[in-house]
Amino acid sequence: MKRQIRQYKTEAIFQIIMLICASIAFAYIVNENIGQEIKENKNPAWKILPFVLVMIGKLLFSDVKSVSAVGVSDLSSGVDTCVESKDGKICQEYLSSECNSKCKNACNPSRRELVADCKPGTCFDSVEGTCQAGSPKILCEKNGGQWYNDPFENIPQCKRGCCVIGEQTAFLTERQCFRQGNVLGVDEEFKPEIRTEIQCLALAKTQE
């Protein structure tokens, strides 16, 4: 997206340079074709000045139109947000001029972080007990997770403790601990008072 904006700006600058070059070339042509006639008739140069200004004005305005075709709105107003694109991408930002053509539904005329469905939060998988920080709301719910309005996993479900399974320990969430014990078919014990992974590993050595 930033690359496209940069490309548009480059094209606009190129057209402006071409405009300046064309103006200089036009002035040279006027000087070659009309200058001699002015000298022969001994007419002051200011008498043809209106003619020159009109011609330059036409040249300027014709080129300005071509520059505006780049898309001034795209360069100034920014981007729109597509909650779900036609190719399955979630919460993508596109240039305003092309967003609706790439989006499955209507685009939101704002940045991604201001769209409710795209707001980053914590996604909790109630089956596996895992947490994902910074997950967009729509993506979390689409995958069957529980979304919370905190992008840094600061929710009770994501608090880790020491999971003791047999003689082994692992620093997991309570739901992860239960899931591991269930999969392995052994009893598990979750110790929430142990708040660091180092302490949890040390507990395994103590048990040995």
pLDDT tens across 19-49, in order?
665 666 555 555 555 455 444 544 444 444 5
Q: Would you say the pTM of this structure is higher than 0.75? A: no
Where on the phi/psi map is residue 92: left (φ > 0), alpha (ψ -120 to 50), or beta?
Answer: beta
Q: What are the residue ranges in the chain where pLDDT is below 50? A: 1-5, 34, 37-39, 41-48, 52, 59-60, 62-76
